[in-house]
A and B are shown apart, each in its own frame.
Chain A
Amino acid sequence: MYTIGRIAAQVGISADTLRYYEKEGLLQPAKKSDAGYRLYDADAVRRLHFIKHAQHCGFSLAEIRELLTLKNSDAACCRDVRNVAIQKKLQLEHKLRALHAMSQALTELIAVCNDETRSLDDCPILAALETSLGRQQEAASDA
């Protein structure tokens, strides 16, 4: 059995994170000591590694809870897990597009600002951002 400090150190997360996982229904201590301290078993270590790996793949805690539920469901099969992974990949691809567009917008702004000695009043990046903001506000008021 592991105390909260020991299992947290072993997995590389904080004790507060473990308590948060418990609150979110992702992990429960196997039992409590006579003094009321949480005690975890080897299954908890495996579960925590699962959570960490899933987070590295971009899954939110809610999605990880869904995966853990599937993992422990007799009615579920690999196909169900695969579908969850496919939905996640679709979401990530959308985010990648958005990030790429943001990066491209910054590239254009940086290219416009070719004289670093200009005063702030003449900074083309600030001017472009203000113009862009103004356009967005106009579009919002027109809508």
Chain B
Amino acid sequence: MLKVEIFSSPGCGKCAQATAALKAAVMELGADKVTWREVDVLKEMDYAVDLGVLSTPAIAIDGELVFASLPSVEKLRVALRQRLAR
């Protein structure tokens, strides 16, 4: 089960718009294969710093910062499929 986390801050318009499309792409893979969590960096600052998040929005997969800025839906799909195939 892959754990996808998107780091953002509440009220970030840029994050909200992009998040919906990315979440849909992630959930297409099936809830039995991936989980999706939205992380508020202000509430989980230590965790964000642990993973090396320097700016938001950013995406981590299984606790590893994979996208320091928001990827396209296709890039995220590819990254997830590669990990699922391992």
Q: A83-B9, A83-B12 are in contact. Are A93 and B49 (CB under 8 A)?
A: yes
Chain B contact-residue range equals: 10 to 19
Q: Decide if B56 touches A90 in the complex (CB within 8 Å).
A: yes
Residues on B close to A: CB < 8 A?
Answer: 9, 11-14, 41-42, 45-46, 48-49, 52-56
Contact residues, A88-126 vs B (CB, 8 A): 89-91, 93-94, 97
A87: chain B residues at CB < 8 Å are 54-56
Instruction: Classify the interface of chain B: helix, strand, loop or mixed.
Output: loop
In the bound complex, residues from chain B placing their C-beta under 8 Å from that of A86 are 9, 41-42, 56
Query: A56 within 8 Å of B by Cβ?
Result: no
What's the Cα separation between A83 and B42 when bound, in Å? 11
| Complex contacts, A91 vs chain B, CB 8 Å | 54
